[in-house]
Chains A and B, each alone.
Chain A
């Protein structure tokens, strides 16, 4: 595969059915990776595989690694990314730099916890960073309207955090404190109930092109959190974005009509990754109808339906059918929706759907 030209912007969304990863060329040979998921066969982060297939030197060319939030399904392989992409700044929600959050990660380090470790990748990434920087883990924190990057040489570029808002971070700290157990409570897997309000959404401009990467950001709660806070804020960029990475796999709790009417062009290109691990897979038929009614084009990085199960899984299905149903592997091969456009012109985006990626509408 050929890498994009230095003046081309690329936004590739990978999604294996659980989790997702965005690989973006931000011009001038610089790259950004937002979240991580693994190749099912090799267990290597798909972003690493892809960048290497383009002949990119990931040790120097990846400028930013962004963890929108710390859940395992968005961070599978993130620690490997941090280890390999030595020049990258690691960007996280400000909420993840707090002692209250670190306390939750430490609960998983006790022997009373079984797999899966929800925050294991995050903890490992911190360890890698501490080793690299003489015992200090350097994290670039994201908070609403914070410029994370501005480049004026060559193709211009800027990256701005659209979230989390101050109130979301405050709420997150309260949540984290509340999730920490008290004496007498029975240990449970560390799990936050409503984490997506404090996730990172990004505004990315390369040349004339604007893109919104929505992470898993929810609509609220309340007027000062989530997309409610983004849409209402005067400092949110005035331009309209052409591409929207739809948040939270198209779920209605992350839909905000104001994003489509105020922050995006008419008929934008929408990309999203499916989530097949829950009782209600996303996007649902209603989600598809809603998104297709708003977007000019929309692409899904993999099928909504659970893929054909291999023989080993079928054997497990037979063994467990007396006590369970819908048994299967939620994740399959990661498909890729790849969008490229010349950053210095207004030409249409070129779209390539690789592996199991498909049009949504």
Chain B
């Protein structure tokens, strides 16, 4: 659930959203689109067990489907698209696991899933993860994956709130 508090926006109105507000083909913020259960392993990293991970298809490492394959995520980034070319895009990456510096990287359109391609534009946010796939508890391969963030559309009431906040903020500027 995303909530904009009065403290953040300087107003008394509160924005509340739940996953029900998000379109059926979307997933909630930060879920990475995986049907997963989260367990803490001994290192504190998340252990994601999954039944299907369609976003792994571009890397040809689809799980076996016998529920014994697991992805152990060790590194996470959020990114924003800064430039889009005919067959590439440039993104800035910010680590959300551990510490690290801002990175800039080029991505081929080929690493974007067909369903994500419509989301690829300047300003779009995406997630990148890196981890290892294991089968029957034995490490099999490393995998990196990119997935675009699906966002619930703006509602008029939310935009009205932002407008009122802007009006309030601008009224406190003395330009001389």
Is A279 a contact of B149 with CB atoms below 8 Å?
A: no
Is A320 a contact of B144 with CB atoms below 8 Å?
A: yes
Distance between A41 CB and nearest chain B CB, rounded to angstroms: 11
Residues on the B chain within 8 Å of A278, using CB: 82-83, 90
Residues on the B chain within 8 Å of A106, using CB: 9, 162, 165-166, 169
Given contacts A110-B9, A326-B105, contact A312 B80 (CB under 8 A): no
Is B4 a contact of A110 with CB atoms below 8 Å?
A: yes
Distance between B141 CB and nearest chain A CB, rounded to angstroms: 10
Residues on the A chain within 8 Å of B149, using CB: 114
Among B58, B119, B125, B170, chain A packs the most CB atoms within 10 A around the CB of: B170
Given contacts A137-B172, A137-B173, A320-B144, contact A111 B4 (CB under 8 A): yes
* Residues B37-87 near A (CB distance < 8 A): 58-59, 75, 78, 80, 82-83, 85
Is A189 a contact of B125 with CB atoms below 8 Å?
A: yes
Is A329 a contact of B153 with CB atoms below 8 Å?
A: no
Residues on the A chain within 8 Å of B128, using CB: 320, 323
A102→B164 CA distance, assembly (Å): 11
Decide if B19 is an interface residue (CB 8 Å cutoff). Answer: no
Q: B103, B153, B156: which contacts A328 (Cβ < 8 A)?
A: B103
A184→B21 CA distance, assembly (Å): 12
Task: Say which size band chain A's interface belongs to.
Answer: 35 or more
Q: A105, A112, A188, A324: which contacts B107 (Cβ < 8 A)?
A: A324
Distance between A256 CB and nearest chain B CB, rounded to angstroms: 25
Is B94 a contact of A185 with CB atoms below 8 Å?
A: no
Residues on the B chain within 8 Å of A321, using CB: 144
Is A279 a contact of B151 with CB atoms below 8 Å?
A: no
Task: Say which size band chain B's interface belongs to.
Answer: 35 or more
Decide if A99 is an interface residue (CB 8 Å cutoff). Answer: yes
A106→B176 CA distance, assembly (Å): 22
A126→B83 CA distance, assembly (Å): 29
Is B8 a contact of A111 with CB atoms below 8 Å?
A: yes
Is A279 a contact of B88 with CB atoms below 8 Å?
A: yes
Instruction: Tell me the nearest residue of chain A to B2, going by C-beta.
Output: A111
Distance between B150 CB and nearest chain A CB, rounded to angstroms: 8
A141→B175 CA distance, assembly (Å): 6
Is A141 a contact of B176 with CB atoms below 8 Å?
A: yes
Decide if B138 is an interface residue (CB 8 Å cutoff). Answer: no
Among B2, B172, B173, chain A packs the most CB atoms within 10 A around the CB of: B173
A270→B116 CA distance, assembly (Å): 45
Chain B 84-103: CB-based contact to A (< 8 A → 1; otherwise 0): 01001011101000001111
Is B154 a contact of A184 with CB atoms below 8 Å?
A: yes
Is A181 a contact of B159 with CB atoms below 8 Å?
A: yes
Distance between B105 CB and nearest chain A CB, rounded to angstroms: 4
Instruction: Tell me the nearest residue of chain B to A133, going by C-beta.
Output: B174
Residues on the A chain within 8 Å of B121, using CB: 188
Is A112 a contact of B155 with CB atoms below 8 Å?
A: no
* Residues A125-149 near B (CB distance < 8 A): 126, 130, 133, 135-141
* Residues A175-222 near B (CB distance < 8 A): 180-191
Is B103 a contact of A135 with CB atoms below 8 Å?
A: no
Instruction: Tell me the nearest residue of chain A to B95, going by C-beta.
Output: A316
Distance between B96 CB and nearest chain A CB, rounded to angstroms: 9
Q: List 22 A-B contacts (CB under 8 A).
A: A99-B170, A103-B166, A106-B166, A109-B9, A114-B149, A133-B174, A141-B176, A189-B125, A277-B82, A277-B90, A278-B83, A316-B75, A320-B130, A321-B144, A322-B144, A323-B59, A323-B111, A323-B128, A323-B145, A325-B105, A327-B103, A328-B105
Known A189-B124, A277-B92; 19 more pairs at CB < 8 Å: A97-B175, A99-B170, A102-B169, A111-B8, A114-B78, A116-B80, A140-B176, A184-B154, A185-B153, A313-B103, A316-B75, A319-B75, A323-B146, A324-B91, A324-B105, A324-B111, A326-B104, A328-B105, A329-B104
